Amino acid sequence: MSARAIATATVSFGLVSIPVKLYSSGESSTPIQFNMLHKKCGSRLKQQYICAQDGEKVERSEVVKGYEFTKGQYVTFSEEELKALEAKATQTIEITEFLPTSKVDPIHFDKSYYLGPDKGGDRAYQLLAKALHKSGRSALAKYAARGKQYLVLIRPFDRGLVMQQLRYHDEIRSFSEVPLGDAEVKPPELKLALQIVDQAVSDTFKPKDYEDEVRKGIEQAIQRKVEGQEITAEPAVEPKAQVIDLMEALKASLSKDSGRKPAMAAPRRIAEAPSAGKTPRKRARTET
């Protein structure tokens, strides 16, 4: 079954215009939700809008949207005015420069979308995809949609292209705000830490090896409840003892993992932090 496009746009590549379609690159798991019920009869409760000033119940037909320009002061917008604001979006993905993907720190990464060619854009799409694959670079671009201009990175992926939505510089907090202390790492400690890394090193990411075990456990508990069983809290996990001697803890870690199969000729390096894997999930709507 073919994927369904969630939007259309045009990639501006020099004097070349490439009509494309945007597709969701993932399926976020639908959160497990518990509804609010009336304890007396078990019926589901409905939410209502109550005016904060006079306590009056307000129907949806009487609701308007407003922007708070100063404390307690709002300017309201009609539906037509809101549509006019969004109409400024050009749906054009304008490429501004090309750069190595590795030069963009992943901390800037936000949502990602697959790009596919739209009608009449097959050849130009393949040209851009092959050019990026061949050059080893990605395209930095501006994309205006839904009342906002996005900074995006178009990068080669598999046999096609992915559009990676990026965070702007002012949307990322400075790491200098994170207190790190003034501890120093001793060479013997670093040597043991690198040995632990070598024991669990991997050159490929295998997302199928991971799943959301917490969600799985909750779903199983809910099913038991549906079947009429009682749910009891599991015994609290004993807190780990405070590390007093770092060297002893490192040595114990090496001893614990000594049964692992050692990596074959693996270079000594700091491995990247593993990402959470995916399990089959229900489709959720993704906003552009």
Place of tokens 């709507």: 285
Based on the fold, state whether residues 90 and 138 are members of the same structural domain: yes
Q: Which of 121, 145, 171 is the last residue of a domain?
A: 171
Q: Domain tally for the chain?
A: 2
Percent of the chain residues past pLDDT 70, beyond the cut: 83
Domain limits at 119?
Answer: 7-27+86-171
- The verdict on residue 217 lying in a domain is yes
- The verdict on residue 81 lying in a domain is no
- The verdict on residue 63 lying in a domain is no
End-to-end alpha carbon distance in the chain: 22
Based on the fold, state whether residues 112 and 147 are members of the same structural domain: yes
Query: What pLDDT is attached to residue 87?
Result: 55
Based on the fold, state whether residues 210 and 145 are members of the same structural domain: no
Based on the fold, state whether residues 13 and 111 are members of the same structural domain: yes
Distance (Å, whole) CA 76 – CA 163: 35
Q: Which helix (H) or strand (E) holds 75?
A: strand 73-77
> How would residue 254 be classed by pLDDT, with cut points 50, 70 and 90?
confident
Query: What pLDDT is attached to residue 227?
Result: 83
Q: Is residue 11 pLDDT above 50, yes or no?
A: yes
Across the chain, mean pLDDT equals: 82
Q: Is residue 58 pLDDT above 60, yes or no?
A: yes
Parallel/antiparallel/unpaired status of strands 7-13 and 65-70 = unpaired
- Over residues 69-100, the pLDDT tens digits come to 989 899 999 888 887 776 566 788 999 999 99
Based on the fold, state whether residues 218 and 150 are members of the same structural domain: no
- Over residues 133-173, the pLDDT tens digits come to 999 999 999 998 877 889 999 999 999 999 999 999 999 99
Based on the fold, state whether residues 195 and 256 are members of the same structural domain: yes
User: Which segment, 28-32, 119-123, 142-146, 280-284, is predicted with the most confidence on average?
Assistant: 119-123
Taking the CA atoms of 275, 276, 279 and 281 in sequence, report the sign of the dihedral they define.
negative
Query: What pLDDT is attached to residue 109?
Result: 94
- The verdict on residue 215 lying in a domain is yes
Based on the fold, state whether residues 136 and 267 are members of the same structural domain: no
Based on the fold, state whether residues 142 and 252 are members of the same structural domain: no
Place of tokens 């099913």: 223
> What are the respective helix, strand and coil percentages of the chain, to the nearest 5?
25, 25, 45
